Structure 1
Amino acid sequence: MDKSKLLYNREEMLRLNIEALQRRGGVTVHDIATIAHAQQSKYYPDIDLQLCIESVEKILTFRDVFHHIQFAAEVDRLAEEKMFKGPIQDILYYDLGLFGLDETLGLDVARLYGAIGQTNFGDIDVNKRGVVAKLNEDGKKDGIVHTLMDDIVGAIAAAASTRVAQVMNENLALENPDYHKLSLFELMQKKSKGK
């Protein structure tokens, strides 16, 4: 009888993701949260790092993110061990700049938080903050491959950053005594009266 396990609960996915990130580059939740914190500090100077940590942990419980992390960790490991055949081995091993599947995977994770998540990912991917920069630099050393992992980590930071912005905006809206949630119908009525 096949004992393969295919489905994991949120706690298991969180644990397995944390382990994979640690194993494939020494990445911690705190490392990723500091990138999200730095990105959002421009807009919310008093932002609490704990909110960023909670956001990263939340994202690490998503099934799609679980699949992305586990896939990226294994592809990088196999490339590092030179287990692929043909041109893809060298493309992955040397992180060819024209290879775009790593960014595609990153964008897919960031897309969980819409266009802003993707924009935040682009910023992190270009500016290489914190542990993303370290993964990228280490991946240039002989025998170390982080071709997919640096983009996945950057995308998790981008998604966490976007979640933090959403939480901060919701909190600000709730603190404002004049805040009133409008239905689409009420919004359309206000707009038509204003003409």
Structure 2
Amino acid sequence: MTQQPRQVHSKEVADAAKQQLVERGVTIESIADIVYNMQHPYNPSLTLETCTESVNRVLEKREVQHALLVAIELDRLAEQNQLSEPLQSIVAADEGLFGVDETIALGATYGFGSIAVSTFGYLDRAKPGIIGELDTKQKGKVHTFLDDLVATVASNASGRVAHRLRDVEEQVSQFS
């Protein structure tokens, strides 16, 4: 008799996504630093604490969690030479024309508006902070998907910060 797949509780998925980020050397703070640098020019009173909160809220979104889990798993499988050819060579080399890594990452930005989408494009090209560290080739490590997913989380958190700033401004002007 075939066993039915179990329904995975959302807390288990969230915890797994955060744990796998940490295992791959990515901290919430390293992503929050990128958010801060992206949004501080538009919001001089922005704090790193607000950016950290925004990153954590983005990581609560199931679509983002699922994308992270898939990305990290594909990178790990490539490190272990467990993908079939030619995919193994393409992912291991982070082939420039591959684009599937960006497609998954971009898909996870759409829930956070055009600011997140445009910010993702910038982060994918500029590769600041931890994104650039992940993009650097390291012997035995593959981050073909993860660098793009970290850019997604930072982009989404940046969009969230920008929209929340507008909400605060409008609330203040209504009651002043």
Gaps of 5+ in 1: 180-195
Q: Compute the displacement of 1:3 (Å).
A: 7.2
1:3–1:51 distance in 2 versus 1, CA, 3 Å = farther
- Residue 114 (structure 2) pairs with residue 115 (structure 1): yes
1:80-91 → structure 2 map (5 Å cutoff): 80-91=79-90
The answer on whether the counterparts of 1:32 and 1:153 sit within 8 Å (CA) in structure 2 is yes
Aligned mates of 1:18, 1:30 — CA distance in 2: 12
Identity of aligned residues (%): 35
Q: What does residue 163 of structure 2 align with?
A: 166
The answer on whether the counterparts of 1:14 and 1:60 sit within 8 Å (CA) in structure 2 is yes
Gaps of 5+ in 2: none
Aligned mates of 2:81, 2:3 — CA distance in 1: 29
**Equivalent residue of 2:109, what SS?**
helix
Question: Which segment drifts farther, 86-95 or 42-51?
Answer: 42-51
Alpha carbon RMSD of aligned pairs, Å? 1.6
> Aligned residue pairs: how many?
175
Partner amino acid for 1:40? Q
Aligned mates of 2:36, 2:138 — CA distance in 1: 28
1:41-56 → structure 2 map (5 Å cutoff): 41-56=40-55
Partner amino acid for 1:51? T
Q: What does residue 13 of structure 1 align with?
A: 13
Q: What does residue 31 of structure 2 align with?
A: 32
Q: What does residue 65 of structure 1 align with?
A: 64
* Regions of 4+ moved over 3 Å: 1-6
Partner amino acid for 1:2? Q
Aligned mates of 1:50, 1:129 — CA distance in 2: 19
The answer on whether the counterparts of 1:13 and 1:60 sit within 8 Å (CA) in structure 2 is no
Q: Compute the displacement of 1:66 (Å).
A: 1.3
Aligned mates of 1:72, 1:6 — CA distance in 2: 21
1:66-145 → structure 2 map (5 Å cutoff): 66-137=65-136, 140-145=137-142
Aligned mates of 2:107, 2:7 — CA distance in 1: 21
- Residue 146 (structure 2) pairs with residue 149 (structure 1): yes
Which structure has the larger Rg over C-alpha atoms?
1
Aligned mates of 2:6, 2:59 — CA distance in 1: 19
Deviations 1:67-98 (A, max 9, x none): 10110110000001000121110000010011
Q: Compute the displacement of 1:7 (Å).
A: 2.5
Aligned mates of 1:8, 1:103 — CA distance in 2: 27
Instruction: Please give the TM-score of this superposition, normalised by the length of structure 1.
Output: 0.85
